[in-house]
Structure 1
Amino acid sequence: MFRTVYCSFLWHAAVAGSQEFEKFCDTEIYPPCDVGLPVGRDSPGLWTANATGLSIKASRSTRRLNPGRSSELGSPKTRRPYEELSLPESLHVEEKTVIALHAGHDGSIAIGKGGRIQCVLELERLFENRYFIPKVDHFHVDWHRAVETVSEHCECEQGPCPTSFDYGIMVNFGGDVPVQRAQLPRIVERFFHVREWRNVNHHEAHALMGYFASPFRSAFVLSYDGGGNDGVFTAFLGRGFELHRIGRKPLNLGVGYYKLASFLQEVNGYPDMQKMLCEAIAERDSDGDWVEFDMFFSVATFVTFAGKLMGYSGLAEPSEDIGRWVREYFHRWAFGSDSVPRAFLSKVCEGIESQRVLAATIQAEFERIVQPIVQDYLRELQSKSISVEGIVLTGGCALNVVANQLVRDTLTELRSTQPDLTKPRDVYVPPAPNDSGLTVGAIWAVAPPMGPRQPLQYLGFRLWDLDKLLKEAEARGARSLSQLGGVDYLAELLAGGPAWTGNKPKHKKPIIAVVRGRQEFGPRALGHRSLLAVPDSQDMRDRMNRLKFRQWYRPVAPMIAEEALEEVFGFKYNSAYMEFAPKVRDEVRERFPAIAHFDGTARHQSVSREDEPWVHALLLAVGKLTGLAALINTSFNSKGKPIVNTVEASLEMLDQLEDLDYVLIEDWLFRAPAVKQKVKSTESKHSIISGKRCFACGTAIAIS
């Protein structure tokens, strides 16, 4: 009885709902509400300027809903059947397949399917040549191998990877493209069929990648670097699935930053050069306040200076007196002058301490230029009643984590105690803001992501020689980590527990390399190709830099479980890709001195369970033993090489590098040999040419 009544009630409710549906979709006063039609701005239906007429129609509609006349509502003549699902043709999105290529420095190939990125091959990882640029005489061979590698090793979601593509996209492909690079589409078509080819501008690709990877529905996007075919400093506005270029400035902060860094001997690595530089400047004492002077380095050397300078700048305080010259230097670049202030060069000649002040000043002026420009753009948008949910920073200059942090702290509501609708919510920097990320933006130029936001940090390739792993594990007596206890055992090792001390080691705690899964996409190691250690001593930072043959002042970045972020910084600063550098609390620095740089900041990777479950579990296990769920995390690579991607190279470093104690490759834990092998020399000979003069270009010191 109850069940009959209940079912009868549901039937009547359904009929009532159908009747109500008819009247509330009365097209005399409402837009049509049939299933399958768009809603909102694009909904069909008449607009009217006759307010009186609309009121009369609405009034009549209300009377028709009178219960006394409800018998009319369910009439078979007027009631339409329900449609539970009806998708209009415009929503039937065809799953586009795209291959994109960038052939400049930091070259890459990416594959996309239905707006989702399947893999990204950074050529430096394949050829073990950092910032890889194919040489003219090897161009065809190198790119043939690269495309072949993608065709054989790319891993795609839900089945095999495409062998035919709707679109082939080239980034910055035109104008002064060399003859060799012009053949690139033909090389691709040796392996894949491509229906159509097109080109994408450099900064558009940066901006598309940054915006569509961000969590924002609207954003101000700044793309800035050393230069592309469409400028050097470009602003965009993203709203929904649309991106518009809204501004451009001739500020080449990228090359200017590099060039000033090249004069500092602890950055460029050539201490003997200072004497020649200062002698050359003395000969040019009649040139006035600005001197035409260049330091010429190979591209592969030159592009390393920015990261070094950023770390070096934390050793001293900036100078206001020199600051105005540096600021003017950056602005003069906009008008085609790259002359260097004599005041700056004179400081270079004063020695190391003055050069450290110069480094701090360069960084401070970089920030002083960028932050107000972003602020001015946001104010201009507000003056036009345009608000944005977030700020996106991309391009090579967005690797400047100190400047990113300044923008985040001063121009967003992130730290506001009350909601501030006049400010964007937060700042987003993609995992590959440098040129290796261009191919992802190129794919999204023709097939933007329509579904859930895709994590991008682990889109690289698995170990090239993974098939050798089992044989090496057996030959070397490696042990299965999962059988030893998984992350709990690894945490005990890292924390210097019984698993470590039982081996009577030389050091209190070990350094362990972790090589697992697909490689990171972008320049940062994020737990898949990382060197890990507990940051509880200055000695550990020194060991890590020594292991990597790096300058003593280079920062070692931590990875921190999201549960410990507030303890470390006093605020939950999420930073999944090491894109910011907040200040570490003093009490944490005292307990864990290697967690922060000399200036008290940390370029950290925040890790949640959603970001990387295995790394997150390891950090929590470490935290139970050390009191802080954090580890030093720096990239696992040998001197001058990109991040490792072979079993062979991983074990070679274990055999040779004095401070490396273990390597975990997938589930196999390899222990270092009792006696290390002698490290093979990787030093290359450099010729220094001094006093190369021409009156048009001034004095130059060239490094080849």
Structure 2
Amino acid sequence: QSVISVYLGHDSSIAVSQNGRIQCVLELERLFNVRYFRPNIRLETQEYQNEWYRAMRAVERDCECEDGQKPAHFTDGIIVFAGDFECYQLFMRGMVGMIFNVERWHMVDHHEAHANLGYYASPFFLTPRTTLVVSYDTAGNDGSFNVYVASRGKLQRIAQLGYSLGNAYDLAGTLLPEVTGHPLEDFVNCSDPDVLNMSSGMKLVRIGAYHETASQKLSWAGKLMGYAAIGAARDDLRESVRFMFEECRAAVPGNAAVPANLVRTACESVEGQRAVAATLQSEFEHFLQTRLEAFLRFLGPGKVDSVVLTGGCALNVLTNQFVYDSLSSGKSGGVKDRDPDFFVPMAPNDSGLTVGGIWALFPPHSQQRLQYLGFPLWDRQVLAEQGRLRGARRLSKLGGVDYLAELLAGGAAWQRHPNRTADKPIIAVVRGRQEFGPRALGHRSLLAVPDSEEMRDRMNRLKARAWYRPVAPMVAEEALIQVFGRPVHSPYMTMAPQVLPEIQQRFPALAHLDGTARHQSVSNQDEPWVHALLLAVGRLTGLAALINTSFNSKGKPIVNRVVDCLQMLDELPDLDFVLIEDFLFRKRRAGAT
């Protein structure tokens, strides 16, 4: 059996499965180099068709299947609903058919795909235990907040609630210029007397230009989550935020409004805006927890053994951690003082829908590691020649991960480097197939030792990011207790526990402003090469951890071209080396060509 699955919304993707195993996932943003890419349905039909044709050709040419063959024929094709433009989804069959022969076609609902990815990517489907799956985001053709119960490989929806927490979170984000990059006046009129007058009776304020910023607002939630650490939540704002979460539904053009109390607070000052952000994040966490508790009570004490969160809102790592901790403490019906059975998949957002669509119809028979099932470098054929022209050295001949660790730690290898401008370097690592999902997990990563505030500032400057954005660490499994005081496993960067104070003091770039770290835990089974590098770094610095953030330039997706890697090495002052496969490229000396 061979299956091709396609999703047409933002974060469009194509997935291929053979004999029950996922072979590759193409996230179209990585091919077209446009963040959150979706083929433009407003283009002429021929142009729209050409974009998909190019994507299908990439799958045909570069999908690395386990049997060594290239995909050509599929027994089944799947289209996952994007929630809109159904005519284009039907048209998709013909576009796939231009390249691949597909015997029969199926349609899968949006949240059904999210839920199936979450459940079957977890270890829970292999057990007879009962799993509660919550899939929540902004919108889908089958709702925006769905709840499922799964057991023995069977998944059943038990509720479809009207909440659109993703839409509410984004709407409140319009009040935060430091997040959106837009003046507040682009969305609300702060000089309107009715808005500012507490006694005016105005309950809601319409948000202007909200839907015109649709492509931009996809990045707001991640920024807002980091921004929330700056301010302090205010009790006088909580009721208004809860009202938003209770009443906000899936986005409808012309129907965007925010409680007047929040607008007034944002119009008052930057401090007010930061308080709105902090309150929003705090209430988001509590809102989900209370709904989760309600479903655990509904199903009965002790009836649920594990919990899965998925959908775009499951990218909110602070909420994931809040739920995890409440399960661990017993507050949400969990078992106190034990590691709770809790899981968030590597691609809970829409980039994971094509895999979930496959598993909705053809569930896997065994658990499969998916995090590195992206595509190899598009222009890998130029690597050897670029290495020769630029005098790159083979890492394997220099000493492998031990040499790289010595560089990162600022040891003798770095001290001999003629162009050094800092105590320790930043090194980009580009190895193997790209990650599947929105996080860089060591195959397309920027790495550095997190032992100074300067390193955090350099990393944010390199990526042209706002100062309040967190940098995430990768931590060897053996060092989790040393960093967090407990073993919080997070191989896909889906959690954010508090870092111990002594580690924050010694390694200040490891934690965010609120003391949390959205870490990637790495075991030898997860990624042997990265794990070995972390242990080598630990022998030199005293902590088997590195800053790990995605290797991409401002506003662009994670890199997947040799030429782009080398261009960033040449143009970004804070980037010192790029390791591409086994070739270690260093920054050219001033004046070199």
TM-score bin, normalised by smaller chain: over 0.9
Partners of 2:213 and 2:432 in 1: CA distance: 34
Of 84, 96, 99 in structure 2, the residue corresponding to residue 188 of structure 1 is 96
| 1:401 maps to 2:310 | no
Q: Which residue of the other structure, out of 102, 127, 130, is the alignment partner of 2:32?
A: 127
Aligned match of 1:634 in 539, 543, 549? Answer: 549
* SS in structure 2 of the partner of residue 315 of structure 1: coil
Q: Residue type of the partner of 1:202?
A: H
**Long gaps (5+) in structure 2:** none
1:608-638 CA deviation, whole Å, 9 max, x = no partner?
A: 0000000000000000000000000000001
> Aligned letter for 1:238?
A
Match of 2:69 in 1: 160
SS, match of residue 208 in structure 2: strand
The residue type paired with residue 569 of structure 2 is L
SS of residue matched to 2:435: coil
- Deviation, 1:177, is 2.1
**1:319-398 pair list within 5 angstroms:** 319-334=234-249, 338-382=256-300, 387-398=303-314
Secondary structure of 2:190's aligned partner: helix
Deviations 1:188-234 (A, max 9, x none): 11111111101000000000000011011331000000010000000
- Output the CA distance in 1 between the equivalents of 2:312 and 2:472: 19
Deviations 1:546-565 (A, max 9, x none): 00000000000000000000
Alignment correspondent of 1:106: 11
Residue 97 in 1 paired to residue 13 in 2?
Answer: no
Structure 2 equivalent of residue 602 of structure 1: 517
Q: 1:564 aligns with which of 479, 485, 497?
A: 479
Q: Is the 8 A contact 1:140 1:180 kept in 2?
A: no
SS at match of 2:215: helix
The residue type equivalent to 2:363 in the other structure is P
1:483 to 390, 397, 410: 397
SS in 2 for 1:119: strand
Q: Which residue of 2 aligns with 1:503?
A: 417
SS in 2 for 1:508: coil
Distance 1:320 1:421, change over 3 A: closer
Partner of 1:232: 144
| 1:305-320 alignment runs, 5 A limit | 305-320=220-235
SS in 1 for 2:123: coil
Instruction: Say yes or no: does 1:517 pair with 2:432.
Output: yes
Q: Which among 108, 124, 149 is matched to residue 200 of structure 1?
A: 108
- CA apart distance, 1:412: 3.9
Give the AA of the match of 1:399: L
Q: Which secondary structure does the structure 1 equivalent of 2:290 belong to?
A: helix
Contact 2:449 2:546 in 1 (8 A): yes
Cα distance in 2 for residues equivalent to 1:103 and 1:502: 50
Q: Distance in 1 between matches of 2:121 and 2:143?
A: 22
TM-score (norm: length of structure 2): 0.93
Gaps of 5+ in 1: 1-95, 679-704
> Greater CA deviation, 343-352 or 241-250?
343-352
CA distance in 2, matches of 1:645, 1:414: 44
SS in 2 for 1:222: strand
CA distance in 2: counterparts of 1:270 and 1:674, whole angstroms: 39
Deviation at 1:248, TM superposition (A): 1.3
Counterpart CA distance in 1 for 2:88 and 2:160 is 31
1:636-663: CA deviations, max 9, x gaps?
0011100000000000000000100000
**Deviation, structure 1 residue 316:** 1.9
- Tell me what 2:122 maps to: 214
- Give how far 1:421 is off: 9.3
Q: Is contact 1:171-1:202 (8 Å) kept?
A: yes
SS in 2 for 1:165: strand
Secondary structure, aligned partner of 1:183: helix
Residue 444 (structure 2) aligns with:
529
Q: Is the 8 Å Cα contact of residues 332 and 338 (structure 1) preserved in structure 2?
A: no
Contact 1:412 1:427 (C-alpha < 8 Å) held by counterparts? no
**Residue in structure 2 matched with residue 139 of structure 1 by the alignment:** 48
Q: How far apart, CA to CA, are the structure 1 residues paired with 2:361 and 2:259?
A: 45
What's the CA shift string for 1:502-524, capped at 9, x where partnerless?
12521000000000000000000
Which residue of 449, 457, 462 maps to 2:376?
462
Give the secondary structure class of the aligned counterpart of 1:663.
strand
Q: Secondary structure at the match of 2:364?
A: coil
Give the whole-Å Cα distance in 2 for the aligned partners of 1:199 and 1:178.
11
Please state how far the C-alpha of 1:368 moved relative to its aligned partner: 1.4
Shift of 1:245: 0.2
1:190/1:667 Cα in 2 relative to 1: closer, same or farther (>3 Å)?
A: same
Secondary structure of 1:593's aligned partner: coil
Cα 1:345–1:482 change in 2 (3 A) is: same
Quick one: distance in 2 between partners of 1:422 and 1:197? 48
SS at match of 1:565: helix
Partner of 1:84: none
Relative to structure 1, the CA distance from residue 399 to residue 283 in structure 2 (aligned partners, 3 Å threshold; closer, same or farther) is closer
Partner SS, residue 371 of structure 2: coil
1:250 aligns with 2:168: no
CA shift in 2, pair 1:215/1:144, >3 Å: same
- 2:312 maps to amino acid: G
The answer on whether the counterparts of 2:327 and 2:340 sit within 8 Å (CA) in structure 1 is no
Q: For residue 294 of structure 1, report the CA deviation from its aligned partner.
A: 3.0
* Matching residue of 1:666: 581
Cα separation, 2, equivalents of 1:103 and 1:318? 38
- Shift of the 414–543 alpha-carbon distance from structure 1 to 2, 3 Å rule, reads farther
Quick one: which of 544, 562, 572 aligns to 2:459?
544
State the distance in 1 between where 2:75 and 2:175 align: 48
Change (3 A) 1:281 1:536: farther
Residues 335-371 of structure 1 show CA distances to partners (whole Å, capped at 9, x for unaligned) of 9974311111111112212211111001011111100
Q: Deviations over 1:518-543 (max 9, x none)?
A: 00000000000000000000000000
Match of 1:432 in 2: 347
Determine if contact 1:111/1:118 at 8 Å carries over to the other structure. yes
Contact 2:188 2:208 in 1 (8 A): no
- Contact kept, 8 Å, 1:167 with 1:195, in 2: the verdict is yes
Query: Using the alignment, how far apart are the partners of 2:55 and 2:355 within structure 1?
Result: 17
Structure 2 counterpart of 1:46: none
Give the deviation of 1:388 after TM superposition.
2.7
Query: How many residue pairs were aligned?
Result: 577
Matched residue of 1:303: which SS?
A: helix
Name the aligned partner's letter for residue 659 of structure 1.
D
Is the CA contact 1:411–1:423 (under 8 Å) kept in the aligned structure 2? no
Tell me the CA shift for residue 160 of structure 1. 1.1
The structure with the larger Rg is 1
2:37 counterpart SS class: coil
Q: CA RMSD in A?
A: 2.3
1:427-478 deviations in Å (ceiling 9; x for gaps): 1000000000000011112211113x11110010000000000010000000
Is the CA contact 1:413–1:426 (under 8 Å) kept in the aligned structure 2?
A: no
Shift of 1:179: 4.2
1:657/1:605 CA distance change after superposition, 3 Å: same
- Work out whether residues 171 and 258 of structure 2, in 8 Å CA contact, stay in contact via their aligned partners in 1: no
**Which whole-Å CA distance do the structure 2 matches of 1:240 and 1:265 have between them?**
48
After TM superposition, give the deviation of residue 238 of structure 1 in Å.
0.8
What whole-Å deviation, never above 9, does each CA across 1:290-311 have from its counterpart, x for those lacking one? 2222342432211100000000
Name the SS of the counterpart of 1:571 in structure 2: coil
Deviation at 1:498, TM superposition (A): 0.7
1:277, distance to aligned residue in structure 2 (A): 3.4
- How far apart in 2 are the matches of 1:646 and 1:270? 32
What's the counterpart of residue 149 of structure 1?
A: 58
Q: Deviations over 1:637-690 (max 9, x none)?
A: 011100000000000000000100000000000001223999xxxxxxxxxxxx
SS in 2 for 1:277: coil
